[in-house]
């Protein structure tokens, strides 16, 4: 499994905003391998909700899974570790992470998109 992690230094942080997004960072993650048809989306959604993240997870036409998530950096780091492991039955080949604008993460919760 390879991992490419760019969210550390380049992820957008909310600054000078009021509300619950202060201190948040956002990432877009593409997971490849045997990650469709094995419960990966439910797995990701469950852990994101436990960590209080907001965003979504969805299947991609090429067989990968896309995750867009925002929350505190520590929670995102924990989430990314879980995404690298995947649920039983998944075979994670690569996890590509890039920073995402906080404004691209809509909603207050985390959901599976179809």
**pLDDT of 100:** 95
Number of folded domains that form the chain: 1
Is the CB of residue 105 less than 8 Å from the CB of residue 17?
Answer: no
Give the predicted TM-score (pTM) of the model. Answer: 0.82
User: Which domain, by its residues, includes 61?
Assistant: 2-113
Query: Catalytic pick from 59, 82, 84, 96?
Result: 59
What's the CATH number where 31 sits? Answer: 3.30.70.100
> Does the annotation count 41 as an active-site position?
yes
Q: Tell me how far apart the alpha carbons of residues 102 and 24 are, in angstroms, rounded to a whole number.
A: 8
For residue 69, give the 3-state DSSP assignment. Answer: strand
**pLDDT of 13:** 40
> What is the CB-side half-sphere exposure of residue 18 using CA atoms within 13 A?
0
List per-residue pLDDT tens for the chain, 114 residues long.
444 554 443 343 433 333 456 789 999 999 999 999 999 999 999 999 999 999 999 999 999 999 999 999 999 999 999 999 999 999 999 999 999 999 989 888 999 999
**pLDDT of 20:** 59
Backbone φ, ψ for residue 66 (5° rounding): -105, 135
Q: Tell me how far apart the alpha carbons of residues 93 and 100 are, in angstroms, rounded to a whole number.
A: 22
């Amino acid at each position: 499994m390879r991992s490419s992690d760019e969210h550390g230094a380049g992820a957008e942080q909310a600054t000078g905003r009021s509300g619950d997004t202060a201190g948040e960072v956002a990432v877009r993650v593409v997971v490849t391998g045997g990650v469709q048809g094995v419960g990966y989306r439910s797995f990701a959604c469950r852990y994101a909700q436990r960590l209080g993240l907001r965003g979504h997870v969805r299947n991609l036409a090429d067989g990968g899974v896309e995750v867009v998530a925002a929350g505190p950096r520590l929670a995102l780091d924990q989430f990314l570790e879980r995404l690298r492991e995947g649920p039983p039955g998944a075979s994670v080949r690569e996890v590509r992470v890039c920073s995402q604008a906080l404004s691209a993460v809509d909603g207050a919760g985390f959901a599976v998109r179809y």
